[in-house]
Copies of this chain bind each other. A is one copy, B any other.
């Protein structure tokens, strides 16, 4: 990387505070930066790192008190830095354009232009791969599966038959798409397999993390909506459908036939039961266990999941509960003492105004 602060500022449309001719030689986080590096400050949590960083320049959202560092002011430092990294950062070297001689391409496979298909890839009959798509070694593509343009498929991915993958889809190593859904009809103590003859549809601009599994539908389709991003080790069961631009964090599980709206966020290790509807913009926090429908924009927490404020109130209450129970124990003694004293005073029981039943301990 050989570039000046000015060039970076031009790339991201930023304003320079300091010497715009300063050369930059590297890219790093504030804490790991060396002299010559450019870094960024996006999270106020890391403000204090600014005074300690060795970075030469930093992308910021507004001018900071940091006289020894060149600042580039941009509206979204996180996004701007991503562009800097994409432009100047280290690049992966994918398999070269062309079809590796060891790749096995079935009959009637339609291949687009400018493809790169790596060593030991197996593509079954009647599949189709779009222009510019890159397929790393050891990938399996089943028969009649269609993959769009500009996709990136990392090593050891398995996409079974008849699935439909859109454009600009990124699929990380070890992902399984189109495995059978988990369905059995139990008759006289034996679980008989229910055929899973549907497909998986992945829309454009989806990214799928390593070793994630997306089961094919029983019939019809399992669908991942446009722009949705899925992290590693996620389980998407048969006939699940997600809307657009959802975020599904690592180790989440979504059970069969559940539908997510648009912009739903499922945080790490959350689990969603089957046959539910999760509304647009709903947020499920980490480890939550959802067993009921969630309305749009709701934020839920806990297991079984509840609206977050109720859940947090209960968490606070539970932390105080041992003390509460001690207080109740003391109240029992104080009330018994009062009852004894009032009896000693000769006070007759007043006429009950209802609800007296059940009052005996």
Is A66 in contact with chain B by the CB < 8 A criterion? no
Task: Give the distance to chain B from A313, nearest Cβ to Cβ, in Å.
Answer: 5
Query: Is there contact, CB below 8 Å, between B361 and A337?
Result: no
Query: Is there contact, CB below 8 Å, between B359 and A333?
Result: yes
Q: Which of B174, B176, B351, B356 contacts A172 (CB 8 A)?
A: B176
Is A3 in contact with chain B by the CB < 8 A criterion? no
Please classify the interface of chain A as helix (H, G, I), strand (E, B), loop, or mixed, using the class held by over half of its residues. loop
CB under 8 Å from chain B, chain A span 122-139: 122, 124-125, 136-138
Q: Which of B195, B304, B328, B348 contacts A324 (CB 8 A)?
A: B328
Question: Given contacts A29-B218, A213-B211, A338-B335, is CB(A195)–CB(B86) below 8 Å?
Answer: yes
Query: Is there contact, CB below 8 Å, between B136 and A138?
Result: no
| Interface segment, one of A17-25, A108-116, A153-161, A292-300 | A153-161
Task: Give the distance to chain B from A306, nearest Cβ to Cβ, in Å.
Answer: 7
* Total A residues in contact with B, Cβ cutoff 8 Å: 138
Is A89 in contact with chain B by the CB < 8 A criterion? yes
By Cβ-Cβ distance, the 5 closest A-B pairs, closest first, are: A340-B350, A79-B185, A333-B359, A158-B173, A176-B210
Question: Given contacts A173-B176, A219-B85, is CB(A235)–CB(B251) below 8 Å?
Answer: yes
User: Which chain B residues border A92 with CB–CB below 8 Å?
Assistant: 142-143, 160-161
User: Which chain B residues border A203 with CB–CB below 8 Å?
Assistant: none
Task: Give the distance to chain B from A249, nearest Cβ to Cβ, in Å.
Answer: 7
User: Which chain B residues border A154 with CB–CB below 8 Å?
Assistant: 158, 160, 179
Most interface-central of A161, A231, A263, A344 (chain B CB within 10 A): A231
Query: Is there contact, CB below 8 Å, between A333 and B353?
Result: no
